[in-house]
Amino acid sequence: MKPLFLSLLLLLGVPALAQTLVEVTTVAATISSLDASVRFPSGSFRAGRGSEAIVARIPDASRFNLEVYAAKGLAARLQAGFVQQILTSFAASGYFVGNQQETQVAGEVRTRYDLTDGAGRAAILFVVRKGDELVFVFGKAK
């Protein structure tokens, strides 16, 4: 009886292991749909439910067309290296960091990178890290 009860508890507890920041869709994201020259590191997935809550953390979100992605698996655990890969990809695509701001709110580390492309147009990379989770938002000015 105990093994059956423990198995039942384990099965009921599995949904609790879902990501808390966003749910990840099964589509791997290797290229940004806003700018095809930007390539994301392996382990990047399009974010599903919860994306609106991440976008709401950006005060001037309405200025940008935004895409939300999440890192999954090993990529999420290697957060600093993963973010560096993203920034390197942006630099290779002609986006350079003009300003960087980091804040901590309710156990989350939020980092905003204000970017500009070669033509001087504004873009944003917003990274939210919490525990082993990493979500990032890319957007170009409207």
Q: Which pLDDT tens digit goes with each residue over 29-52?
A: 556 666 777 877 777 787 878 889
Q: Enter the tokens of residue 28.
A: 């791997």
Q: Which residues pair with 120 in a beta bridge?
A: none
| Whole-prediction pTM | 0.76
CA distance 46 to 37: 17
- Phi-psi category of residue 74: left, alpha or beta, with phi > 0 → left and psi -120 to 50 → alpha: alpha
- Give SS3 for 82: helix
- CA 116, 117, 120: angle at the middle one, nearest 5? 70
Provide CB contacts within 8 A for 24, sequence distance 6+.
45, 46, 47, 48, 70, 72
- Give SS3 for 62: helix
- Give 63-117 pLDDT, tens digit per residue: 999 999 888 777 667 888 889 998 999 899 999 999 999 999 989 999 999 999 9
CA distance 61 to 65: 8
